[in-house]
Amino acid sequence: MKRRYAILGGTALIAFVLDQASKWLVMRTVPMHRPVEVIPGFFDLVNVRNRGAAFGFLNRSDIEWQFWLFLVATLVAVAAIVVLVRGMRDEDCVLASGLGLVLGGALGNLLDRLRFRAVVDFLDVYWRDWHWPAFNIADSAICLGAFLACIVLCRDGKKGERA
């Protein structure tokens, strides 16, 4: 098996398992909509459902089409990752890791959408009256993976300009 596929698959599997295990634990131990204070004035564990996307975009119970939109968006993202991985070099370990994080996170949130018609969010960061929208391990994996992929692609683009 080519190295890039092993890195992509292994990273995706780790992100997916960590995401699903953390959500399972939260659903079993944290009451719905009742925060558990972890760091007073800064961080709580919560058990909430997000029918929308990142940062609560389209998180509304009065519309049903957002489920289909996010389902299609996830499938398109998975297809794009497959195309990117097929065209990359085996030496691009950081890019494969980044894409694996995006893939694992996307699949973790997809499973939630298929099971619950919403994503389980549980990390709540805040300061006084300001709250960052609740998120989960999958969201973190997607953001970190996209950041890594962008760094590699920008770096490689600059190398191409110099050549």
Report pLDDT for 51. Answer: 83
Cα(30)–Cα(46) distance, rounded to whole angstroms?
7
The upper half-sphere exposure of residue 26, i.e. CA atoms within 13 Å in the direction of its Cβ, equals: 26
Q: What is the pLDDT of residue 144?
A: 97
| Domain housing 140 | 3-162
Amino acid at 23: K
Tokens representing residue 42 in the block: 């800064």
pLDDT 10s digits, 67-89:
888 889 999 999 999 999 998 88
* DSSP state, residue 126: E
Q: How far apart are the first and last CA of the chain?
A: 31
DSSP assignment letter at 135: B
For 107-158, write each residue's pLDDT tens digit. 999 999 999 999 999 999 999 889 899 999 999 999 999 999 999 988 876 6
Q: Which residues are catalytic?
A: 121, 139
Answer yes or no: is pLDDT of 162 > 80.
no
- Strands, DSSP E only, in 22-118? 36-39, 43-50
d(CA 122, CA 136): 6
Q: Report yes or no: 20 and 107 within 8 Å, Cβ to Cβ.
A: no
Torsion sign over Cα 28, 65, 125, 129: negative
Residue 5 reports pLDDT greater than 70: yes
Looking at residue 68, its pLDDT comes to: 86
pLDDT at 127: 94
Tens of pLDDT, residues 21-72: 999 999 999 999 899 999 999 999 999 998 877 666 666 666 777 888 888 9
By the 10 Å C-beta count (0-12 exposed, 13-18 middle, 19+ buried), 56 is classed as middle
- What are the tens digits of pLDDT across the range 97-108? 999 999 999 999
**Backbone dihedral angles phi then psi of residue 146, each to the nearest 5 degrees:** -65, -40
- Please give the pLDDT value at position 87: 87
Please tell me the total count of domains within the chain.
1
